[in-house]
Amino acid sequence: MAKKRKIRGSIDPTPSGGFKPYYKYYGKRYYSGRTFSTEKLAQLWLNEENRLIELGTWTPPAQRRADAKRKQKRDSTTFEQYAFKWIATRENPRTQRPLVAGTVNEYRSYTTGILAPLAPQPVSQITEAQLKDWWHDNQHRPVLRNHAYQFMKSVFKSIVKDKLVEETPCTLEHARRPPKQRSRDLEGSLIESVTPADIAAMADAIGNQQWRMFILLAAYTGFRPGEILALKRNDITKAVAPSGAPRWTLRVDEDIKKAGKDAAGNPTPVTIGPPKTEGSYRTIPLAPHLVEPLEKHIKTYAQPGENGLLFPSTSKSSRLPYVQQVWGKTAKSNHGKPTGFHAVRIATGVPEFTLYDFRRWANKAWRDAGMDHKDAEFALGHSDTRTIEAYNFLFLKRVWEFFDAVSEEAGWHNPAKDIPKIDQRQFDRMTLEKKLECLQDMTKEEREANSELLQQTLVEVLSAQAERHDEADREAN
């Protein structure tokens, strides 16, 4: 076997009295990267380089220094340190914007909460075996455990990318998303079983009557709970149709974010800020039968001023309202006596119904009234952000009939239906000139009530014009 080539090193004195060793190996010069205090120490470094060459484990000194630096960083960077930095700099992959406050608080709560036993450890020391133990220790809270694990898995993808570890320890085969606590069929049958009368019963059953209007808005606007709590007086636009039907609209441009913890683990208060996504900015009709109860609610509960919240906080510890105030307490946490919406769903016979189910119920009510999928998605705040502004204008023009229909199902009387309609058979016997004369003499309300006849007459006018053009062309030829 050929011998390993030995190096011939040199040692240069420095002006400060130190010594810098270097050597050539295969025609390239390598330096120690540091100054030694004595010539003997410099020579020892050269000897060690020779030993590595003889062992066949030699790598360039600069590479070894970089590896040592990475190892030091890897061994000193804890998961908590990296996670907080990751949260602060993370962007939503869909919107390319920083994480919203609610998501930031949620991720921080995982790090300081259920992941607390692992958070102080260096990322290089967290193993799959430790994660298996952690997974088993938290089997009593499967949903939270899974959400925290998915968060940790995402963080470790970045840790691997930054070369702090070679591979992720998040490889648990059984750590998939937990099954829903209720099946899709069960969820569908629950939503289908709830009627407008049940919605009214839920609203009436709430202990604190301030939240009565919250339940009605949740059911008939499809707004997220935080979006409802963030509504202000100036988010309402009031108008009336020619028939006398109210035409109020509600604008969503803010959301209530729940309390959480900052990077230092200190509690943060409830805040109000932008809604969940760009598509969440929207204006939708207020179902006409809610106008009267909303007026009463505003007079009784809303804060004064244009920027006054419709739903002030009911807790002295928080300036802003938050969803838990609506939920109340469970029977288990309140000596067997549930409060708030926990009590409502038991009292009205729907113990599985959640505040978020109101969004699903609103979607069902709109679709039953004839609204198409795209309009329903827009109303729920799921729109394509590139077309939202233009679409919102068209949306408001065409969906009032569906909100009227939903209100009629709830017992509202549509004044437009009080205007008599022209008898179809009698109208068909008229000449086109007589039809135009009849429609011209109508009031706005009568035209609205007889919109189908208007459309029919327009078709006839266009057909007559086309016939005249054809006749003129024939005469010209």
Q: Are 359 and 396 in a shared domain?
A: yes
The pLDDT value recorded for residue 444 is 65
pLDDT digits (tens, 9 = 90+) for 363-414: 999 999 999 998 898 899 886 554 555 556 667 878 999 999 999 999 999 8
Q: Outline where 209-252 has alpha helix (H).
A: 212-221, 225-229
Closest to 281 (Cα-Cα) out of 307, 254, 306, 256: 254
Q: Are residues 93 and 66 in the same domain?
A: no
- 263 and 335 in a single domain? The answer is yes
pLDDT at 158 (0 to 100): 93
Q: Identify whether 224 is part of a domain.
A: yes
Residue 170, in any domain of the structure = no
pLDDT of 2 = 46
Map tokens 């038991």 to a residue: 346
Q: How many CA atoms lie within 13 A of 117 on its CB side?
A: 11
Percentages (nearest 5) of helix, strand, coil residues in the chain: 55, 10, 35
CATH, residue 102: 1.10.150
**Per-residue model confidence (pLDDT) at position 231:** 98
User: In this structure, are 263 and 281 located in the same domain?
Assistant: yes
- Residue 4's pLDDT is 57
In a domain, 181, yes or no: no
Residue 60, phi then psi, degrees to nearest 5: -55, 140
Least confident of 11-20, 162-171, 196-205, 457-466: 457-466
- Nearest C-alpha neighbor of 30 from the set 69, 74, 61: 61
Does residue 477 register a pLDDT over 70? Answer: no
Please give the residue that has the higher pLDDT: either 19 or 181: 19
| Structure confidence by residue, pLDDT tens digits, 190-207 | 999 999 999 999 999 999
Residue 351 in this model has a pLDDT that exceeds 80: yes
Is 463 within a domain?
yes
Same domain, 61 and 129: no
**Residue 52, CA atoms < 13 Å, CB-side half-sphere:** 13
428 lies in the same domain as 402: no
User: Is 393 in the same domain as 455?
Assistant: no
**Angle at CA 258, nearest 5°, toward 252 and 260?**
145
Residue 172 lies in a domain: no
294 and 145, same structural domain? no
Three-state helix/strand/coil letters over 71-129: HHHHHHCEHHHHHHHHHHHCECCCCCCECCHHHHHHHHHHHHCCCCCCCCCEHHHCCHH
Q: Is 444 within the bounds of a domain?
A: yes
pLDDT level of residue 7 (50, 70, 90 thresholds): confident
The answer to whether 341 and 326 have CB atoms below 8 angstroms apart is yes
Residues 291 and 386 in one domain: yes
Amino acid at the residue 46: L
Residues 213 and 125 in one domain: no
pLDDT per residue as tens digits for the range 286-345: 999 999 999 999 999 999 999 999 999 999 889 999 999 999 988 777 777 889 999 999
Range of the structural domain that residue 39 is part of: 9-74
Residue that is written with structure tokens 């409060």 in the block: 339
- Beta bridge partners, 273, equal 255
Residues 43 and 99 occupy one common structural domain:
no
Please, which residues bridge with residue 31 across strands? 22
Q: What is the mean pLDDT of residues 244-256?
A: 94
